[in-house]
Every structure is written in C-alpha cells, then in structure tokens.
Copies of this chain bind each other. A is one copy, B any other.
C-alpha cells in the first residue's frame, strides 16, 4: 500500500523534529536577490532539516507570469531532490465543478507535482473528489482562515438540523470541517485553520482528532505560535504544519546573509513550537 500524504507528514515531523512549514511567497519588491528560483533554492537549502513541509503560494508565481511559473516548477523539483522527506503543499485554494476540478487536479499533481493542494469546499463533495484519486496526493480544505475578515462568512451560524429549538446550530466553518471528515474515506484530507483563531483551532482539533491541519497566520499575520501549536497538535503532538512565509523568507534583506537569517527564523519557530508542546500536559491534548 502506498503512503498517504498525512503519513508522509507524520514521518517528516518525526525525522526533522519540526512542525514548521516554510511558505515560499516570492515578491520581487522584497527579495534580497532578483531571481525567484535562486531565492527559493537558497531558502530551501538553508531550512530543509528544520521543515516538515514547504508551501509555495501559487499567486506569487502567477503574478510574475511565465517566468514565475517556470521558477515554481524548478522550485518543486529542487525540493524533491534535496528534501524528499518534505510535504509539498500547493497553496492554490481552487474550487470548481467536476470537469474543471479534474483539469486543476492534473495541473496541481501531474504538472506542478504537489503532494497536497488547498481547496475551497463551496461547490461540495464533487468538486473535491477529483483531487482524491491519486496515491500519495490529497487536499487541505479551507476551513477557518487567518484573516480578520474570516468571521464574515465562516462564523455564520447555521440552523440546527435538530428539531429541538434549544440546540444551537453549528457555525459554517465547523460544518465544513464535518464535511471534510465525512469525505475522508481514503485518509487524504486535511484542514486549513488560521493560527490567529486559537480557540476555534482547539475546538476543531477536539472534534477531529485525526485530521492534519495546516496552520497559516503566525509571524507577519500575528498569530501566537505557542497557543496555535498547543491548540492544533494531535494527541501525539504532531499532525500540524505551522506555516510562516514572510517571517522566514524575508528575515533579512541582505543578499549575502539572508539564507542564514531564514535558517535562524525557522529554527526559532521550530523551537517555539517544541517548547509549547513540551510544556503541555499530554492529558490536555
């Protein structure tokens, strides 16, 4: 039987002793060197033993046109070569009808070679299904995002399906997580839950003890690392990818020393997560 991506994540977390996911969001206005691939390569080489995952955000490559997309392709190839343990997350947040979702799945897996892709669930199970058929691949369903405006739709309270008027309905994001669990027959679905909402993160972990969770929103977005790690980790202290992009890749603007600065930032994040989980009473997990 082939390895699922959550199993790969578990092995990577054990091997590196790290739940850090390095977000590769190249922005020419901030990069200390001009070439996107050379920038990414330096970051990857400097952090690969500290990261269980790398996460290119496709928007940043698309914004640079064909040269950007070529750099994305070379970046994933480089990760495969030097860090075969690492889960490669394509942060694409796609969500479309079945025939289109099939085309996206071909793009994301066959072309870009991501292990797992972030997706929207608004179109229902059909729109996710095309991403679930390939061994070793899968999705992370956007559940509770890290931005301040997340509450606008995601916190909407649904009517209780129960006929008892005193039972409150779930919030939309909780229902999305329930659907993710329901659709997870092959064990290749996870959730995206922002670090900026540790309370909701903890509730989701309690309700879904086995779903892997991608946790963006630490660093530049202000999420508290220790709170998020404690709230999100599973009972083994794993099952999370705590993702930082700007905080790691733009740790220095010096063209010579930026890889070293990135390494130090990733190391700090790894240690903060470790310390938070070590100080947690296992019984609380």
A176 touches B159 (CB 8 A): no
Given contacts A70-B66, A94-B59, A172-B156, contact A124 B147 (CB under 8 A): yes
Chain B's nearest CB lies how many Å from the CB of A248? 15
Contact of A153 among B60, B122, B150 (CB under 8 A): B122
Given contacts A93-B94, A153-B124, contact A111 B159 (CB under 8 A): no
A142 touches B126 (CB 8 A): no
In the complex formed, the residue of B with least CB distance to A160 is: B159
In the complex formed, the residue of B with least CB distance to A104 is: B59
Chain B's nearest CB lies how many Å from the CB of A140? 13
In the complex formed, the residue of B with least CB distance to A176 is: B153
A62 touches B124 (CB 8 A): no
In the complex formed, the residue of B with least CB distance to A157 is: B159
- Can you pick out 5 interface pairs between chain A and chain B where the beta carbons lie within 8 Å of each other? A25-B100, A57-B103, A62-B111, A123-B149, A124-B151
Interface residues of A (CB under 8 A from B): 25, 27, 57, 59-60, 62-63, 65-66, 69-70, 73, 91, 93-101, 103-104, 106-107, 110-111, 120-127, 142, 145-154, 156-159, 165, 169, 172, 175-176, 179, 221
